[in-house]
Structure 1
Amino acid sequence: MTVRLRAHHLLCLLTYVGKGYSPAFTANYDKVVGRLGKGEAVLIVSGPDDICAAMIDDPEPHCLRESAAERDRLAARDVGALLGRPIEAGEPLVLDASSLARMRAAFSSGQTRQACSGCEWSDLCGAVAAGGFHDTRL
């Protein structure tokens, strides 16, 4: 199987420590991270993905807002430049130890954090990065 991810979730995964919007969201996120940890490949998608699945039925899911799409655009640009390959809908990607290490280093330095501007989780993610990504689940 393949994990479907929108581009900005490539950044969110780097600092995921088990906190989320709701218990259902966190439980779903844990399942997605577990699949990735077992080596499942990623397929970049446009719009809601496997992480969004737990919130898509909310009355006004933020994953459908333009701000999420803009985060995707910025993350795709920055992660693509970092990895030297396109990050766009339909592109497969493997998140191996080497690519995760490169992505975390770039995240820590701020190189790939433009997509995080205005995100309510930005402070938490910054603290996780500053702490060396301890207790992250991926």
Structure 2
Amino acid sequence: MTIRLRAHHLLCMLTYVGKGYSPGFVENYDGITPRLNAGEEIEITTGPDDICAPIACDHREHCHGASVLSRDAMAARDVAALLGRDIAPGARLSLTEAYLTRLRSAFATGEIRNACAGCDWVDLCTEVAKGGFHGTRLT
């Protein structure tokens, strides 16, 4: 199978520690994380993806809002530059140990965090990164 992710979720997954918008959201995310850890292929998509599917109906305006679309564009640009590969909708990649290490290092230094500006979760993600990504579900 393939995990469908919008570009800014490539950043969110780096600091996911089991907190989210609702119990259903967390349960769903907890089901996706082992698949990411196993190296299942990721397909970049637009709009609601496999992570936000449980809240897409309740947060439809959020999932399609200008700020979220802007986050996707910024994340795609920054991650593509870092990894040296296309991160446009339809692109596919597997999360290798080398990719994860590069992403986390760049996230911790702020190099790929432009998309995080104004996000409700920015403080939590900052603390997780400062703590060396301890307790994250993505290993």
Q: Matched residue of 1:75: which SS?
A: helix
Residues 116 and 122, structure 1, Cα contact 8 Å, conserved in 2: yes
> Kindly, what percent of the aligned residue pairs are identical?
59
Cα deviations by residue, 1:17-45 (Å, 9 ceiling, x for unpaired): 00000000000011111211122100000
Q: Matched residue of 1:70: which SS?
A: helix
Match for residue 10 of structure 2? 10
Cα deviations by residue, 1:31-60 (Å, 9 ceiling, x for unpaired): 111211122100000111000101011164
Task: Give 1:61 shift.
Answer: 4.5
Question: TM-score, length-normalised on structure 1?
Answer: 0.97
Over aligned residues, Cα RMSD in angstroms?
Answer: 0.9
Match for residue 129 of structure 2? 129
Question: TM-score, length-normalised on structure 2?
Answer: 0.96
Q: Matched residue of 1:76: which SS?
A: helix
Residues 108 and 129, structure 1, Cα contact 8 Å, conserved in 2: yes
Match for residue 32 of structure 1? 32
Quote the Cα distance in structure 2 between the aligned partners of 1:59 and 1:11: 20
Quote the Cα distance in structure 2 between the aligned partners of 1:48 and 1:100: 23
Q: Matched residue of 2:43: which SS?
A: strand
Residues 2 and 41, structure 1, Cα contact 8 Å, conserved in 2: yes
Cα deviations by residue, 1:3-26 (Å, 9 ceiling, x for unpaired): 000000000000000000000000
| Aligned partner letter, 2:103 | M
| Aligned partner letter, 1:10 | L
| Aligned partner letter, 1:19 | K
1:52-131 superposed matches below 5 A: 52-58=52-58, 60-131=60-131
Q: Matched residue of 2:47: which SS?
A: coil
Unaligned runs of 5+ in 2: none
